[in-house]
Amino acid sequence: MTQGYPLPFTPAPSSRVALARPRVTRAALAAAGLLALGACTALAPSRKAEAPAAPRFLETPPGWMAAAPADTLSRGPWWTLFGDPVLDQLAPQVAVSNQNIAAAAAAVEESRAAVREQRASFFPTLSLDAGVTRSGVGGKSSSSTSSGSAAATTSAPRTSTKFSLGLGASWEPDLWGRIANTVSAASANAQASEADLANATLSAQATFVTDYLSVREADAEIATLQATIEGYRRALQITQNRYAAAIAQKSDVLQAQTTLANAQADLAQLRQQRAQLFHAMAVLAGQAPAMFTLPAGDWNATTVPAIPVGVPSDLLQRRPDIAAAERKVAAANADIGVARAAYFPSLTLSADASQGSTRLSDLFNASSFAWSLGVSLAETIFDGGARTARVEEAQAAWKQAVAQYRQTVLEAFSAVEDQLSAAASLEEQQALRRVASQAADQTEQEMQNRYKQGLVAYTDVVTAQASALSARRALMQVSLNRQTAAIDMVSALGGGWSVEKLAKD
């Protein structure tokens, strides 16, 4: 036997019960000893799924910051790395008010209650029965017609009342580890639920922060478009003045009007996108959009935190989805032990004590006391292979859980590699986009000056304006993408979570 459990509490018997107790106890212990010989074979096999391993990340660029004991992700809310006070105030609402997180939290409570329910099977079941029975027989009537006279007799109805009180106890020792394995499976499932809660919280928070930064980027783009539109209006006025003076052609005016209208349409579309992002943020924060507020604000486009990645094996400890998958493997392993326990007989110990009397005052007299002790042994002789099928089903479920666990680990590796590659690429793109935007702005200004001097056609101005606006928006978009990649990296690394946060049973 690999583990043992203390015998449950047994009420002190009366003197009459004590006379027969030694024989019953010896018989029970003898039966238990014989049955315990094969107990260890029913325990769940100690098999731990091996996770795929990698010594390093492929896409780690030279000089990338490695994880250190003072890891910034482990010191508090990770979104504070973006240095935005409004975000710092809003993001904690997600963990409190998000309804998906609330549902996951309720699932944890449910799984914890299931563990307590299974643990209760270690202890005996006590039952108390009390009752009052009243019964009766109706009166008897008779008649006589001798000498022409009639007479009737009636006997009084007979009634009786009986009081009863009974106490029963039953206990099934966990000889084959069925209950222990059931508790282990429930505990592993509860820990998986806790990891699922952590994963749901991290996912909701990451989405909320991404939406927030997207809203701020939209605010910056809206401000840029508004300033650009004002410039287009001035350009249109200049073109109309030149046309009125017979210096410019009608086509120049039409092109200026087209450029202005397209920019205004882009602004309307951008405002719609901003509104949709705002609505999504409200839902993530557990509020109706009408009750959620987020005025336009500044965007820290240059703040892109460097996230330490460490080594691939860290993910096994830091990602809640990996922890959940591993705990499901443990639960499936325990289920094999539960299925194997069905091969062995079940032993049940029972005890009953009862009192009965026709008078309530005599209910507790010794003369009305009755008791019984019992030991029952049950074994299935033939079931058509049902138990073997259940064991094979449990083993197949374990193999499935192992495969899903390994796949989760591999996908975690891939997610980190993706973000490492994205971080390096986006940093390079941002530098190039900044150069392109500055050059496009200079070209636009130069073309406007040359048009005023009559040196170039207005089509050249329109082309320069479109290129400059596109370059500005592309620079802002790549800056947002860098911040989004940092958020995705936080998610890929588990957001500072660790398996130590799982409750130990």
Mean pLDDT calculated for residue range 410-437: 94
Q: Does residue 458 sit within a domain?
A: yes
Assess if residue 357 is contained within a domain.
Answer: no
Q: Give residue-wise pLDDT tens across range 141-167.
A: 555 555 555 555 666 677 878 888 888
Residue 209: pLDDT band with limits 50, 70, 90: very high
- Tell me what percent of the residues of the chain surpass a pLDDT of 70: 81
Among candidate residues 250, 119, 93, the one with its CA nearest the CA of residue 182: 119
> Beta 151-154 vs 158-171: how paired, if at all?
unpaired
Domain membership flag for residue 397: yes
Least confident of 187-191, 285-289, 364-368, 417-421: 364-368
Reported as a pLDDT band with limits 50, 70 and 90, residue 14 is: very low
* pLDDT for the residue 372: 87
pLDDT, tens only, 82-96:
999 999 999 999 999
21 located within any domain: no
- pLDDT mean across residues, the chain: 84
**CATH number, domain containing residue 262:** 1.20.1600.10
- Give the pair of three-digit tokens for residue 405: 């666990």
User: Domain for residue 61, yes or no?
Assistant: yes
Q: Is the pTM for the entire model greater than 0.75?
A: yes
Range of the domain at 304: 52-121+177-344+388-501
Q: Look at residue 365 and give its three-state secondary structure.
A: coil
How many structural domains does the chain have? 1
Confirm if 334 and 185 have CB atoms less than 8 A apart: yes
Q: In the numeric block, which tokens belong to residue 365?
A: 């007299």
| Residue 377, in any domain of the structure | no
The string of pLDDT tens digits covering residues 296-314 is 999 998 889 888 777 788 8
Closest CA to 79 of 69, 99, 96, 94: 94
Q: Establish if 273 belongs to a structural domain.
A: yes
489 CB-near residues (< 8 Å, 6+ apart): 307, 309, 416, 419, 420, 423
Q: How far is it, in rounded angstroms, from Cα 197 to Cα 329? A: 18
366 within domain boundaries: no
- What are the two backbone dihedrals, phi and then psi, of residue 141, each rounded to the nearest 5 degrees? -110, 145
Render pLDDT for 212-233 as a digit per residue (tens, 0 to 9). Answer: 999 999 999 999 999 999 999 9
DSSP characters over 290-322: GG---------TT--PPPP---GGGHHHH-HHH
> Nearest 5°: CA angle at 236, between 233 and 237?
90
pLDDT at position 32 is 43
